[in-house]
Structure formats: structure tokens, C-alpha cells
Amino acid sequence: MNPDARQLWRAPRWALAVLLAVLGMLGPFSIDTYIPAFSGIAQSLGATPVQMQQTLSAYLFGFAFMSLFHGAISDSVGRRPVVLWGLAAFTLASAGCALSQSIGQLVFFRAMQGLTTGAGIVVARAVVRDMFPPADAQRVMSQITIYFGVAPAIAPIIGGWLFVHMDWHSIFWFLTAVGVVLWVANFRLLPETLHLSHRQPLNVNNLMQGYWKLGLDPRFLLLALASGVPFNGMFLYVLSAPAFLGEHLALAPTQFFWFFVLTIGGIMGGAWVSGRMAGRVAPKRQIRIGFSIMLMIAVLNLVANLLFKAHVSWALLPIAIFAFGWALMVPVVTLLVLDLHPERRGMASSLQAFIGASANGLVAGVVAPLVMHSTVLLAASSLVMMCVGLVAWFYVRRRWPDIGAVVHT
């Protein structure tokens, strides 16, 4: 924690949470805003469904790759420069998407968006721990998750409206404008939170030593899996939204927002409860409750889809409850990851994001195209991905019982 934290930010704690959450919102906006326009983009550019799916996977793999470096670089040069340069590059990439005249160009600029978007969410996590002690950091992380959850709820609404009343190019011009606004806001408001005494040397040898140290720590790898992979149990449905909502549930593109509202409502509710538990409930107990909710609802969702034809009257609710369980435990797991190696919090955030984003990219590019046309396969895949995270956490709990056992006040 930065010893000068109280002097760096004198405004209310929630105001910093809003600023950091808005940084993290860039990722969901980059994904969810253009999903309602999939069919229109495909028709305009003469693209196949597989090529359109590549616009998602290119973004996610770009995000995963560069996530390895955003936080690590911020450990050396500071948090603020990485955020500002990342936002500037994202703005240019969004303009490139808007000007694309072929599917190849769109895939390229989507990859560029992915390479730059991660700076916000990766560095924001490190900033939280720079500024707050553990219990307060959990509350702020929960607040960030609540505000962050607004983005996926409103992004498809905005994207659908822009597509219907203008065209798909306007969606990426909108993202360009968002990039400009965020750059100005962070240039004026975001302080440098990394203390000079905490900075790491910026050289290849030091970076490789850090990656080696974290990469060989089984606690880090397992906790990163426990937080990142279960997210895909919910994210799979987001990636498959055109098929799941349009084909299986027969919703029009302008009705997709119901799915996002319910799901993000679950995330916001879980994050709010997580914040209320901070300083009162042991982290590992909170994680156990979150996984129990996800396991129960994922099993029920699979059984329901095996027995009944999916219908909008019930098919969206399990995903919202799953999102609640995930949001309940993920702020705690994220902080446990950051505190394993306090001197390299930026790098830890980078590697955690890389593992999660790699899983996201794999799901977007491989799993979603294979299972999106069957609600049973969607439910089964969601359960499997949740179980990967559950097994990782179960091993951590058995092998290192002290992790997450102390209630921080």
C-alpha cells in the first residue's frame, strides 16, 4: 500500500471506485455494444458467422497477450502513464474499426482494441491495492464490480439503438468518443498511486524473474484459475447471445437487453453482498458460498435444459443467479492473488488477467461456436468451466488452509 495514499485521493472512496470502474467498463463496452449488430455487419462486409466470431476471438486474444505487460510495465513506470497511453491507443483502434471496409480490416482493428483495452482493468486492480488496506480494498473492489456491471447492461441497448437508427459504423464511432472522454477524465483525475520506493527496474531480466516467480507459484496459478475460468460459465452465454437469444429464445435484437439486465443485475447484487461481507466474513468462507451458489444453479440449469425446451420465461434466470455467485467470490479471490507477491501487484494483475482472458479467447474461438446451437451443450459447458475453478479452489483450500482464513477489518 502506498504510504501517502490519504494525500493522493481526498475525495470520497466511492468516487475513486467510479473512476476505476469506468476504466474497466471499456472491456464490456468493446464486446457487448456491437453484438446486436452482428448480422448487419456480416451482411455489410459479406462475412460468414465464423468470420464474425473471429472479431470476438481476435479481440480477446489481443487482450490476453497484452495483459501480460500492462501491469508489469506499470510496476516500473507507474500506473498513470500505462492507463493514458492505453486509452489513447484504444481510441485510435476504435476509429480504425469504424472505418473498416472489409472483415479482414475489422478483425485487425478489433485485435488492436484488445491489445489496448486491458490497460484499464489490469492497472485499476493494482491501484485499489496501492490505495487501500485489505478490508477496504475488498469494499472498493466490490463497488467497482457494481459500477462495472452497468456497462454490459447498457452497452447492447446503445449498440442496438445505434445499429437500428444509423448503421454499424456508428457503434465504433461511439467507442471512439468513449475513449476520448475517458482519456480526458483520467488525465485530470487519476493520481499516480505507485510509490517511488515500490517501483521495479524496467529491464528484461527483472521482468523475466518476476514472470518466473509468479508462474512457478502454484498458489497464484490456482487462484487465478479459480477466479478466471468460472467467469466463462456466464460469459459463454454472452458470446453465444445471437444464437442463444435470437434462435433458441426467439428474441429480437432490441430485446437482447433483458438478458444483459438480468445477468448484470446478478453481478451487481453479488458484488454488493461481497462488500457487505468485507471485514465480517472470512474470505475463504465467502468464496465457498459463491462456489456453492454457482454449482447448485449450474446443475439445475443443465437438468432443466435436458428435461424442457428452453423458454424465455425461465432460461435467463439461472445465468443471473450464476452471475450472483461469481460476483460474490471474485473480489475476494482477486485480492488474494494481488497479496501473494505485494512487490509485484501490477504483474500479478497482468498474469491474472492473461489467464482469464486466454480462457475467454478459447471459449470465444473454440467452445462457443461448437456449443451455441444447443442449449443442453451450453448448460453442460457452463457447468464444466465452473468445476475447473471449483477444483482449483478446493486444492488451494486443502494444500494451503491459511489462505483466506483471516478476517481483515
Per-residue pLDDT tens digits for 67-126: 778 877 888 888 899 999 999 999 999 999 999 989 999 999 999 998 898 788 888 878
Cα of 32 vs its chain's centroid, Å: 12
**b/e for 146-174, b at 16 or more Cβ within 10 A?**
bbbbbbbbbbbbbbbebbeeeebbbbbbb
pLDDT at 408: 57
Q: State how far the alpha carbon of 397 is from the alpha carbons of 283, 284, 392, 404, in Å.
A: 11, 8, 9, 9
For residues 94 and 91, give the distance between their C-alpha atoms in angstroms, rounded to a whole number. Answer: 5
Q: Which residue reads 475447473 in cell numbers?
A: 388
For residues 66 and 46, give the distance between their C-alpha atoms in angstroms, rounded to a whole number. Answer: 30
pLDDT at 50: 79
For residues 210 and 341, give the distance between their C-alpha atoms in angstroms, rounded to a whole number. Answer: 10
**What SS3 string covers 33-75?**
CCHHHHHHHHHHHCCCHHHHHHHHHHHHHHHHHHHHHHHHHHH
**Alpha-carbon torsion (191, 195, 196, 202), positive or negative:** negative
**What SS3 string covers 117-130?**
HHHHHHHHHHHHHH
For residues 49 and 52, give the distance between their C-alpha atoms in angstroms, rounded to a whole number. Answer: 5
Contact 356, 267 (CB under 8 A): no
Q: The whole model's pTM is what? A: 0.78
Q: State how far the alpha carbon of 320 is from the alpha carbons of 188, 238, 263, 324, 388, in Å.
A: 36, 12, 4, 6, 20
Ranges under pLDDT 50 in the chain: none
pLDDT at 210: 81
pLDDT at 354: 81
pLDDT at 381: 94
Q: 401 by DSSP, 3-state: which?
A: coil
Residue 139 has which C-alpha cell? Answer: 469494499
pLDDT at 385: 93
For residues 258 and 369, give the distance between their C-alpha atoms in angstroms, rounded to a whole number. Answer: 23
pLDDT at 319: 94
Q: Which residues contact 198 (CB under 8 A, 6 or more apart)?
A: 2, 75, 343
pLDDT at 55: 87
For residues 283 and 7, give the distance between their C-alpha atoms in angstroms, rounded to a whole number. Answer: 29
pLDDT at 1: 61
